[in-house]
Amino acid sequence: MNISEMVKILCIKRNTSVAELSVKLGNSKQNLFNKLYRNDMKTSDLEKIAAALNCELKISFIDKNSKEILI
């Protein structure tokens, strides 16, 4: 699952459309749709999305073999 799919699922779980999310972020709808289409999100974008949807963002590095969370 890529980041764009995760954001769309999060919007569904928060009962918010992507268009409504763009308003909460202060972005144009087209700008957010383009980022989602290109799957081109910066960490700062994800932090703003999390804040707009009242979520906490956690990013982890996980060892593929042991499944241990490294950071």
Domain annotation covers residue 13: yes
- Which residue, chain included where needed, has tokens 């073999």? 65
Q: Tell me the residue range of the domain where 14 lies.
A: 3-52
Q: What is the mean pLDDT of residues 5-28?
A: 96
Q: How many domains does the chain have?
A: 1
Closest CA to 7 of 37, 49, 42: 49
Domain annotation covers residue 62: no
Q: What is the pTM of this model?
A: 0.86
Give percent of the chain with pLDDT exceeding 70: 100
Q: At what angle do helices 29-38 and 18-25 cross, to 10 degrees?
A: 110
Average pLDDT, the chain: 95
Q: Contact at 8 Å (CB) between 43 and 59?
A: yes
Q: Contact at 8 Å (CB) between 43 and 50?
A: no
Instruction: Indicate if the pLDDT at residue 1 is higher than 90.
Output: no
